[in-house]
Amino acid sequence: MSVPWSGQGLPPAAAERIASAEGSGSWTSALSTGEFAAVRSAGFEPVGQVMGSAVFHIGRSGRFWGYYDCEFRNARYGFQFGDQGAAPIALSGAGSPTQALVGVFEQARSTALGRMSAECRALGGDGVVAAELTMAPFGGQPNCFEFKVIGTAVRARGTQHVKRPFTSHLDGQGFAKLLSAGWAPVELIVGMSIGVRHDDYRTAAQSYSWGNVEMSGWSKLVHAVRSDAREQLLRQSDVRGADGIVMADSELRVWEEACQRAGNSERTDHVAEATMVGTSIARFRVRQERPRTLSVMPLGDRGARLRRRLAAVESRPYGDSAEYRRLVEEISELDD
């Protein structure tokens, strides 16, 4: 009889899989031959493929029974005087209703990453490389999404190990290059922002123009969500005390929604969603080794060199008799 899982620690299926891998003595990975060689050259060994997943239901929320509220009071009206009455940008990072939606996505990703890290610890790994994070609809269930991350756990050779495993999107070669440059991966992080802007009178007029004009409202919208996503990424990096971020991917989605504040009219809003994925990194000190003495093999006639050294020993008033005998023996061996 299976024991119900509390949601903490490893899922039962993951625990069984790790126990089976430990019992077999072999390991699996998603590394290519080149990545495997690069990881080993950096002083690490793969210990197994690890993953984490979580399925979340995205419920409805907000004042207007949904997240995408443009927060534009004049959404019902189709006029505008100059910049007065221009639609604002309802940004998740500024506390708009979409903030709750971004929070759900962050919680789901954090859950999946936490479960992958737990598998890494169970295998005795120090971190995960080549981690790939995906989000996809859960089959047959509306408003449900699966958040999944999969990578290869690695362990440093030697006795020194980290307390908390690192996670990184970097492949084997990128991981090795990062370490050789004096940097170490810290954590796979995601910055996300959602912005909603009502298609106000000026936006509608620009879209119907016969000339080439900038859609100023939409330009502001995409700029705002990208900037906010970058801020969220930096905030997560600062939490772990990282020094920088290596980017993996940046994505922007834009779509149209019926305006929730416009009643039964046909007025619309535009929604922009920016997502940035990267790995936070930190510097580490590398012990400076003393330069080694360069061994040089002399070129030329060895017999002539030995005879010159023998003559020098003979010319000394207090020559070394042991060195004299050694040189004589070496010369005689060459003459034989």
Domain that holds residue 60: 13-283
What pLDDT was estimated at residue 162? 82
Instruction: Kindly report, residue by residue over 113-138, the tens digit of the pLDDT.
Output: 999 999 999 888 999 999 999 999 88
Q: Is residue 190, in this structure, part of any structural domain at all? A: yes
Environment class of residue 297 by beta-carbon count within 10 Å: exposed (0-12), middle (13-18) or buried (19+)?
Answer: exposed
Instruction: Kindly report, residue by residue over 71-109, the tens digit of the pLDDT.
Output: 888 777 755 544 556 889 999 999 998 998 999 999 999
Cβ contact 180:42 at 8 Å: yes
Number of domains in the chain: 2
Q: Is residue 44, in this structure, part of any structural domain at all? A: yes
User: Please, what is the average pLDDT of the chain?
Assistant: 83
Do 198 and 324 reside in the same domain of the chain? no
Q: Is residue 263, in this structure, part of any structural domain at all? A: yes
pLDDT of 57 higher than 80? yes
Q: Is residue 2, in this structure, part of any structural domain at all? A: no
What pLDDT was estimated at residue 246? 95
Do 28 and 81 reside in the same domain of the chain? yes
Single pTM value for the model: 0.75
- Beta pairing, strands 166-167 & 144-156: unpaired
Q: Is residue 78, in this structure, part of any structural domain at all? A: yes
Do 319 and 274 reside in the same domain of the chain? no
Segment 57-68 mean pLDDT: 66
pLDDT of 253 higher than 90? yes
Do 122 and 44 reside in the same domain of the chain? yes
Do 267 and 312 reside in the same domain of the chain? no
Do 256 and 318 reside in the same domain of the chain? no
Do 122 and 188 reside in the same domain of the chain? yes
Do 245 and 186 reside in the same domain of the chain? yes
Do 264 and 315 reside in the same domain of the chain? no
Do 269 and 309 reside in the same domain of the chain? no
Q: Is residue 292, in this structure, part of any structural domain at all? A: no
Least confident of 28-42, 71-85, 151-165, 288-302: 288-302
Do 18 and 93 reside in the same domain of the chain? yes
Say which residue the tokens 């940004």 belong to.
91
Do 95 and 46 reside in the same domain of the chain? yes
Instruction: Kindly report, residue by residue over 182-211, the tens digit of the pLDDT.
Output: 999 999 999 999 999 999 888 888 888 898
